Amino acid sequence: MRDKKTDCVAKRLKINGIVQGVGFRPFIFQLAVGNRLCGKIENTADGVSIFVEGTPENIESFCRTIPVKKPPIAQITHMLISDAPVKGYSNFSIQSSKGHQELKSTLISPDVSICNDCLSELFDPKNRRFHYPFINCTNCGPRYTIIDHIPYDRPYTSMKHFQMCPECREEYDDPLDRRFHAQPNACFRCGPMVSLHTDKGEKVETGNPIQKTIELLKAGKIIAIKGLGGFHLAVDAENNNAVANLRRKKTREEKPLALMARDIEKIKEFAELNAEEEKVLLSPARPITIVKKRRRSSIAKLVAPGNQYLGVMLPYTPLHYLLLSYPFSALVMTSGNKSEEPISISNQDAFQKLGAIADFFLIHNRDIYLRSDDSIVRVAGETTLQVRRSRGYVPVPIFLGSKTEEVLACGAELKNTICLTRGNQAFLSQHIGDMENPSTEAFFLKTIKHMQQVLDIHPDVIAYDLHPDYLSTAYAAAQKNKQKIGVQHHHAHIVSCMAENKIQEPVIGLAFDGTGYGTDGKIWGGEVLLADPGKFDRLAHLSYIPMPGSTAAIKEPWRMGVSYLLDSFGETFREFNLPMFQTIDDSKINTIARMVTGRINAPMTSSLGRLFDGIASIMGLRYRVSFEGQAAMEMEMTADGSIEGSYEYSWQEGTPFQIDVKPIVQGVVRDVINHISQPVICGKFHNTLIHLFTELSEVIRKTTGLNRIALSGGVFQNQILLKGFSRSLAGKGFKVLSHSMVPCNDGGISLGQAIIASAGMGDQQHAD
């Protein structure tokens, strides 16, 4: 193949990243042959190794093209090119995989949405996979959710039960075929199939289960549909009765339901999209994207009641595309679970748990080994913010600025994830959920076991939250022969933000959320820290206030309202004409007031989330919530962004500084009494927080000399605050770090915990 022997040179390439099981070797093969190069490619422990010989120009062109033309789901993290002696190969070949042991530190691909090639075959009547709901290739299809062991090879996936037919086998074995080593390769003859069942599990005899499902959806039925990472519950999104029915049966009052629409054009009929949002919706991860709802559309009101936004996604499996071949405006595709439990993944579990919700079940016989909820993102400018990082993103690691120890971090409680670290990589798990029931705890245990197995990371160090009552803390405590490191919740938030920004030097951290256990046993959440991975100091916090009824105060923001009113005015607060007094019984208010003044079942908190709740109730916006953060979310949506005014604030210097919120509460009460509109009050409240903490940060900068600020905690899901703080702090010359790859909410906690534990310090530790 070489024309001029004298002109021949050789190079060795080592490529790391997601380069196995994603069509990388056939791509290299074709590129090498196209450039008239000889040599070989083989999988190695941490990627691929390539040897090529040919003319310098051809080799140069080959090397230059790799990162540009790589297969869509391949990710190159490192590419090392070195000179090598010419060996005189006569062709280019793909070497078979080496022993299993060696493949253990290779990165595993996340699940990937169906590619355009497969999509056109799916709807091509002449193709042998016409309408086959499991069509896939090396560029697309299930990955992480069907693996139970490494290396990523068919016998270690849930495809092991299906023996390929000769035609599929031929594609699988041919290096030039786009299904070369596509582990889930299958067809009608040899692969998984769908079937339709009643709510009792009895099979519905029909020649076309998908067509039948479409008819049932049109008729307003609730269908449980087995997907990629678990079951969805689907209804026609235009059918208000069907949506109401689903909400009632699922006991989901107001929390928005996710939609799936056939294409971007369909989404544009009911939502406003910008170019960046379109790009994210179309990305191979296909996340649920939070977008602005159009004021008038055919989507049922109950999909996202009282909300200006909708969570939408595009189809990501062939089955979804087949279901959406009927021109529904959109389908509600909400997670297939009973209230807050993990979504069902097995057919049996689904029949058992969803039988009382779904009218029919569209199932299939390819097992899901690891549950993976749909990811949720939001686009801010050119940045994609993770709200729930799960399917499509996991298990791609977060690359760190420096090497870490091997650590298992257990996360906190709500929106929990776990994290495993190795070298400069942090593997954040998929969304596990709120660890408040036994089935979520079981999923947590399974995820730890599964991730340790597929990543081959078995740490001796365990990091956990300081909260003594969390199930994740109890898990850590029960482990034998491990070093256990307790990490303060807000310290973990800030370090999680530092880690994804590759920063190790101390920062000023603004950690704002609802609940996090403090080192003094109180509930923190409005915290200014001086933090690095080794330690933290609490520089300032919102002054403590009683939380009457403890967690009951989270569900009923008016309780916090009463607590703040008492704090700001004493008993005279009852003389004001506040809307709350028309809605909440006097007797109830009296009871709560007694709990506050008597400190009966009223733990102290410095939470900013609770301040939002209190203000929302004082202004009459919301007294009870049906999901976490609802009151704050409504204040954000209500706020008039053009308002420039703000409320007064003050703090007492000390160690730490105490931020007094009385002037803020008093200002809000004055405005409410003077009939100032809710949008104005909300606007002023947001401005106040930005002014307050910007000014405080400047004071802290003077004494600490620190100019870098990290923003973390669930409160920063609030876009007015995120943008407002970024702008205001940058305006004062601060370097601002915020989240993008990792959620700012408790879904990112485990990353911070792992980094802090790896730094070896922690905020409390013991070994056994």
187 makes contact, choosing from Zn ion, Fe ion, none, with CB < 5 to 8 Å by partner type, with Zn ion
Report, in Å, the least distance between residue 406 CB and Fe ion: 25
Nearer to Fe ion among residue 430 and residue 712 (C-beta)? 712
Report, in Å, the least distance between residue 748 CB and Fe ion: 9
Distance CA 221, CA 196 (A): 13
Nearer to Fe ion among residue 664 and residue 744 (C-beta)? 744
Nearer to Fe ion among residue 196 and residue 487 (C-beta)? 487
Per the rule left: phi > 0, alpha: psi between -120 and 50, beta: everything else, 668 is alpha
The site map against Zn ion for 67-106 (x = CB under 5 A) is: ----------------------------------------
Report, in Å, the least distance between residue 746 CB and Fe ion: 4
Is residue 394 within 8 A of residue 410, CB to CB? The reply is no
Distance of CA 157 to the CA centre of its chain: 24
Report, in Å, the least distance between residue 213 CB and Zn ion: 23
Q: 4 exposed, middle or buried (CB, 10 Å; 0-12, 13-18, 19+)? A: exposed
Report, in Å, the least distance between residue 278 CB and Fe ion: 32
Longest CA span, the chain: 98
Distance CA 616, CA 296 (A): 27
First to last CA, the chain: 64
Segment contacting Fe ion (CB under 5 A): 25-33, 600-608, 670-678, 742-750? 742-750
Segment contacting Fe ion (CB under 5 A): 468-476, 690-698, 699-707, 740-748? 740-748
Q: Is 115 in the site for Zn ion (CB under 5 A)?
A: yes
Report, in Å, the least distance between residue 166 CB and Zn ion: 8
Per the rule left: phi > 0, alpha: psi between -120 and 50, beta: everything else, 306 is left
Nearer to Zn ion among residue 165 and residue 244 (C-beta)? 165
Indicate the helix (H) or strand (E) that contains 542: strand 536-542
Of 238, 259, 235, nearest to 247 by C-alpha is: 235
Distance CA 212, CA 58 (A): 55
Q: Give me the count of residues in the chain.
A: 768
Segment contacting Fe ion (CB under 5 A): 193-201, 552-560, 643-651, 745-753? 745-753
User: How many other C-beta atoms are found inside a 10 Å radius of the C-beta of residue 577?
Assistant: 8
3-state secondary structure of 325: coil
500 makes contact, choosing from Zn ion, Fe ion, none, with CB < 5 to 8 Å by partner type, with none
Nearer to Fe ion among residue 23 and residue 752 (C-beta)? 752
Report, in Å, the least distance between residue 752 CB and Fe ion: 10
Which residue bears the tokens 């050119």? Answer: 382
Q: Where are the beta strands (DSSP E) in 254-359?
A: 259-260, 271-272, 288-293, 309-313, 331-335
Segment contacting Zn ion (CB under 5 A): 112-120, 366-374, 640-648, 697-705? 112-120
Q: Which two tokens stand for residue 121?
A: 């075959």
Binder among 140, 420, 580, 611 for Zn ion (CB under 5 A): 140
Size of residue set near Fe ion by CB under 5 A: 3
Nearer to Zn ion among residue 176 and residue 275 (C-beta)? 176
Q: Is 746 in the site for Fe ion (CB under 5 A)?
A: yes
Distance CA 623, CA 222 (A): 32
Nearer to Fe ion among residue 548 and residue 748 (C-beta)? 748
Q: Which two tokens stand for residue 615?
A: 């203000």
Is residue 450 within 8 A of residue 430, CB to CB? The reply is no
Report, in Å, the least distance between residue 402 CB and Zn ion: 37
Q: Are strands 92-94 and 47-54 parallel, antiparallel or unpaired?
A: unpaired
596 makes contact, choosing from Fe ion, Zn ion, none, with CB < 5 to 8 Å by partner type, with none
Distance CA 592, CA 548 (A): 6
Segment contacting Zn ion (CB under 5 A): 90-98, 157-165, 205-213, 470-478? 157-165
3-state secondary structure of 359: coil
Distance CA 669, CA 580 (A): 11
The site map against Fe ion for 493-532 (x = CB under 5 A) is: --------------------x--x----------------
Nearer to Zn ion among residue 187 and residue 700 (C-beta)? 187
Q: Is 137 in the site for Zn ion (CB under 5 A)?
A: yes
Q: 446 exposed, middle or buried (CB, 10 Å; 0-12, 13-18, 19+)? A: middle
Nearer to Zn ion among residue 135 and residue 462 (C-beta)? 135
115 makes contact, choosing from Zn ion, Fe ion, none, with CB < 5 to 8 Å by partner type, with Zn ion
Nearer to Fe ion among residue 433 and residue 516 (C-beta)? 516
Q: Is 556 in the site for Fe ion (CB under 5 A)?
A: no
Is residue 285 within 8 A of residue 392, CB to CB? The reply is yes
Q: Which two tokens stand for residue 732?
A: 């004062």
Report, in Å, the least distance between residue 616 CB and Fe ion: 19
Q: Are strands 47-54 and 9-18 parallel, antiparallel or unpaired?
A: antiparallel
746 makes contact, choosing from Fe ion, Zn ion, none, with CB < 5 to 8 Å by partner type, with Fe ion
Nearer to Zn ion among residue 25 and residue 559 (C-beta)? 25
* Strand ordering across the sheet containing 483-487: 419-428, 398-409, 461-465, 483-487, 764-767
Report, in Å, the least distance between residue 181 CB and Zn ion: 13
Report, in Å, the least distance between residue 281 CB and Zn ion: 19
The site map against Zn ion for 163-192 (x = CB under 5 A) is: --x--x------------------x-xx--
165 makes contact, choosing from Zn ion, Fe ion, none, with CB < 5 to 8 Å by partner type, with Zn ion
Instruction: List 660's β-bridge partners, or say none.
Output: 650
User: How many other C-beta atoms are found inside a 10 Å radius of the C-beta of residue 643?
Assistant: 17
Nearer to Fe ion among residue 179 and residue 415 (C-beta)? 415
Report, in Å, the least distance between residue 138 CB and Zn ion: 7
Of 9, 72, 16, nearest to 35 by C-alpha is: 9
Segment contacting Zn ion (CB under 5 A): 114-122, 192-200, 516-524, 658-666? 114-122
Nearer to Fe ion among residue 628 and residue 746 (C-beta)? 746
Report, in Å, the least distance between residue 516 CB and Fe ion: 5
Instruction: State which residue has the least CB distance to Fe ion.
Output: 513
Report, in Å, the least distance between residue 489 CB and Fe ion: 6
513 makes contact, choosing from Zn ion, Fe ion, none, with CB < 5 to 8 Å by partner type, with Fe ion
Q: Where are the beta strands (DSSP E) in 283-349?
A: 288-293, 309-313, 331-335
User: How many other C-beta atoms are found inside a 10 Å radius of the C-beta of residue 296?
Assistant: 7
Segment contacting Zn ion (CB under 5 A): 95-103, 118-126, 419-427, 612-620? 118-126
Nearer to Fe ion among residue 178 and residue 490 (C-beta)? 490
Report, in Å, the least distance between residue 711 CB and Fe ion: 13
Report, in Å, the least distance between residue 179 CB and Zn ion: 8
Q: How far is CA 447 from CA 315, 416, 462, 468, in A?
A: 26, 11, 15, 22
Q: Which two tokens stand for residue 35?
A: 């450039």
Report, in Å, the least distance between residue 117 CB and Zn ion: 5
Nearer to Zn ion among residue 140 and residue 664 (C-beta)? 140
Q: How far is CA 423 from CA 71, 127, 420, 452, in A?
A: 26, 46, 10, 15
Q: How far is CA 275 from CA 225, 269, 301, 469, 645, in A?
A: 31, 15, 26, 45, 33
Nearer to Zn ion among residue 118 and residue 368 (C-beta)? 118
Distance CA 34, CA 62 (A): 9
Size of residue set near Zn ion by CB under 5 A: 10
111 makes contact, choosing from Fe ion, Zn ion, none, with CB < 5 to 8 Å by partner type, with none
Binding site for Fe ion (CB under 5 A): 513, 516, 746
Which residues contact Zn ion (rule: CB under 5 A)?
Answer: 115, 118, 137, 139-140, 165, 168, 187, 189-190
